[in-house]
């Protein structure tokens, strides 16, 4: 089958220039062909489909979650779904037919939160110190030593991806670990969460961080009992070193993005929400789209900053053009709204909590409840400013106190200026309180707002560290997907790449399995009470994620009138054991009606 797909792909990888919907007359109610409001009809309504996928299991993810046999595509648009016999009867002499041989097709998978624009360049330029490249502190020390040997003295060594929860040593890496192999090179290695880093003594000296240096607002300098810095810097405490790092070049950013979006296609993914970008990054996305080098839909959130002044500046720059509820433009690169932060990280134990953090699962991090990323009252004022300007907001909130603050801020802003359809989101929303859950449910019902945008893969990729930090009781309530389902709360899954791998199949699996990677604190610290079935999990990476991209009437399900964004898989997620979900392989990805990826053919045995 793979050889056939490769051959067909060569015929179909051409740019589509028309966006049409064809009313096709077929004598069967099982073939649904409808005009979509706002789309023009084709001048030749009886024109046949461009492409037909048949003899498969088409998981439509429509309102009835129907599974059909075939789908017909005309140009960029799905024109019919139903049984093989009726769909094939629509074919013309130039229609391409793909026999799926029983394989499954899903809507193109979506990611509601992925730092793609920065993550691509990071992978090209930074030392990989993440799992499985580095399974121990010793592995990282060896990698830093090898990199130092290739660089002139004084050059920064940068890396990303380490996670103390995965280390064989079961402790944090420190400056002392790095100093012996990098005496002449400052080192800056960032944890996989992106919220804390370890530096060596050379970097501490350059930044002027000493025993006497006080913790900055919303930051922590990790210290030995005598006050000496260990080299671990959390949140804003990293600033003095970050300001010394050489900037990424525009070419590096472009090269990294070009490569990474192709990898999204290889995972059956056709869209994502990129949070906290700059105007320059938005322009880069537009450039790639104009060149035909962007086989995904991008919903961009501009960085909102952490002050009233930064909020007012963004409103002046973007409030009139970032209005996705009015228009999503070409549906390819969308000026979506704004991202703001309220707290830090569950990995660093800096997220803002009502109660003290745990350590090593059953221990207590006495006195540490985390902290807000900036003045909470300032955040509340920023929410009101953005809301009153008609901008969609997604706010990073991990700790239970942070989530309460965000949902209450949305609630107050909506009470003062009632506005339906802005779809304000809560990024991560790891540990919502009963109060937050009640407010989410009400805001979704009344205003289509208060929508969680969690990362199911946190259970897996960060799971061993997370379980240790949240402890035995709270861990079972992290990402309460079953509760969301019971309360009628819609949620949209995101990978938070490069915090966790971006492949949406991992999020699909993790929402069902809730299994940590290594099982440091047991194989089941998160329990199964908040697990959901695969049908619900698939919605979170398709139609519910599309809702948070303001594209749910255009993508996210396989329905007539929607864009032909589809993925063909080597197995049917509705029929395989849970463990197999993580191992799914994409055979073909179709974006806007054109094949943008086919899996390499498997050699005959």
| Tens digit of each residue's pLDDT (9 = 90 or more) over 256-270 | 999 999 999 999 999
CATH of the domain at 17: 2.30.40.10
Of 601 and 46, which is predicted with more confidence? 601
Same structural domain for residues 53 and 155?
no
Which of 192, 225, 242 is the last residue before a domain boundary?
242
Give yes or no for residue 26 having a pLDDT over 50.
Answer: no
Residue 567's closest CA among 45, 131, 183, 105?
105
pLDDT at 87: 97
pLDDT, tens digit (0-9, with 9 covering 90-100), for 336-363: 999 999 999 999 999 999 999 999 999 9
pLDDT, tens digit (0-9, with 9 covering 90-100), for 489-539: 999 999 999 999 999 999 999 999 999 999 999 999 999 999 999 999 999
pLDDT at 601: 80
Q: How confident is the model at residue 592 (pLDDT cuts 50, 70, 90)?
A: very high
- Specify the residue for token string 């600033």: 239
Residue 290 lies in a domain: no
Same structural domain for residues 126 and 100?
no
pLDDT at 499: 98
HEC readout, 532-547: CCHHHHHHHCCHHHHH
pLDDT at 46: 66
Over the chain, what is the mean pLDDT? 92
pLDDT, tens digit (0-9, with 9 covering 90-100), for 452-483: 999 999 999 999 999 999 999 999 999 999 99
pLDDT at 18: 25
What is the domain count for the chain? 2
Residue 193 lies in a domain: yes
- Give the range among 40-44, 232-236, 380-384 with minimum mean pLDDT: 40-44
Same structural domain for residues 30 and 62?
yes
pLDDT (mean) for 579-598: 98
Same structural domain for residues 101 and 139?
no
Rounded to two decimals, the pTM is 0.92
pLDDT, tens digit (0-9, with 9 covering 90-100), for 477-503: 999 999 999 999 999 999 999 999 999
pLDDT (mean) for 294-316: 98
Same structural domain for residues 68 and 10?
yes
With b meaning 16 or more CB within 10 Å and e meaning fewer, what string describes 306-331?
Answer: beeeebbebbeebbeebbbeeebeeb
The Cα–Cα gap between 562 and 592 comes to 10
Same structural domain for residues 85 and 21?
yes
Q: What residues make up the domain containing 20?
A: 2-108+562-598
């Amino acid at each position: 089958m793979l050889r056939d797909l490769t051959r067909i792909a060569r015929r179909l990888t051409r740019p589509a220039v028309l966006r049409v919907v064809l009313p096709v007359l077929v004598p069967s109610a099982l073939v649904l062909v409808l005009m979509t409001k706002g789309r023009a009809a084709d001048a030749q309504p009886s024109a046949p489909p461009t492409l037909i996928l048949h003899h498969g299991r088409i998981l439509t993810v429509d309102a009835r979650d129907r599974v059909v046999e075939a789908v017909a595509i005309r140009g960029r648009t799905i024109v019919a779904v139903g049984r093989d016999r009726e769909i094939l009867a629509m074919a013309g002499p130039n229609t391409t037919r793909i026999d799926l041989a029983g394989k499954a097709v899903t809507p193109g998978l979506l990611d509601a939160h992925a730092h793609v624009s920065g993550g691509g360049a990071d992978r090209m330029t930074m030392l990989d110190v993440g799992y499985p490249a580095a399974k121990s502190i010793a592995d990282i020390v060896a990698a830093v030593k090898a990199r130092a040997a290739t660089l002139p003295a004084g050059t920064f060594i940068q890396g990303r991806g380490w996670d103390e929860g995965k280390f064989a040593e079961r402790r944090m890496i420190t400056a002392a670990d790095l100093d012996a192999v990098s005496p002449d090179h400052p080192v800056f290695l960032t944890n996989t969460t992106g919220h804390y880093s370890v530096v060596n003594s050379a970097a501490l000296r350059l930044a002027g961080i000493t025993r006497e240096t006080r913790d900055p607002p919303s930051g922590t300098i990790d210290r030995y009992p005598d006050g000496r810095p260990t080299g671990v810097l959390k949140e804003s405490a990293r600033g003095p070193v970050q300001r010394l790092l050489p900037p990424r070049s525009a070419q590096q950013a472009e090269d990294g993005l070009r490569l990474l979006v192709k990898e999204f296609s290889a995972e059956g993914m056709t869209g994502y929400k990129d949070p906290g970008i700059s105007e320059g990054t938005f322009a880069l996305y537009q450039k790639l789209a104009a060149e035909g080098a962007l086989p995904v839909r991008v919903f961009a959130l501009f960085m909102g900053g952490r002050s009233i002044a930064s909020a007012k500046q963004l409103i002046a720059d973007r409030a009139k053009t970032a209005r996705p509820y009015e228009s999503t433009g070409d549906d390819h690169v969308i000026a979506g709204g704004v991202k703001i932060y309220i707290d830090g990280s569950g990995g660093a134990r800096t997220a803002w909590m009502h109660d003290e953090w745990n350590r090593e699962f059953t221990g207590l991090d006495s006195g540490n409840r985390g902290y807000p990323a900036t003045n909470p009252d300032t955040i509340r004022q920023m929410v009101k400013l953005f809301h009153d300007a008609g901008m969609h907001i997604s706010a990073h909130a991990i700790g239970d106190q942070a989530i309460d603050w965000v949902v209450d801020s949305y609630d107050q802003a909506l009470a003062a200026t009632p506005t339906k359809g802005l779809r304000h989101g809560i990024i991560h929303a790891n540990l919502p309180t009963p109060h937050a859950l009640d407010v989410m449910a009400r805001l979704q019902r009344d205003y289509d707002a208060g929508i969680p945008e969690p990362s199911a893969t946190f259970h897996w990729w960060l799971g061993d560290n997370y379980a240790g930090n949240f402890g035995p009781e709270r861990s079972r309530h992290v990402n309460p997907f079953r509760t969301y389902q019971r309360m009628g709360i819609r949620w949209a899954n995101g990978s938070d790449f490069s915090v966790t791998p971006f492949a949406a199949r991992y999020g699909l699996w993790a929402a069902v399995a809730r299994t940590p990677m290594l099982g440091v604190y047991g194989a089941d610290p998160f329990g199964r009470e908040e697990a959901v079935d695969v049908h619900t999990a698939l919605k979170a990476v398709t139609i519910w994620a599309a809702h948070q991209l303001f594209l749910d009437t255009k993508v996210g399900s396989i329905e007539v009138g929607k864009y032909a964004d589809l993925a063909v898989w080597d197995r049917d997620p509705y029929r395989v054991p849970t463990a197999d979900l993580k191992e799914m392989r994409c055979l073909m990805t179709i974006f806007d009606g054109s094949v943008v990826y086919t899996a390499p053919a498997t050699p005959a045995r």
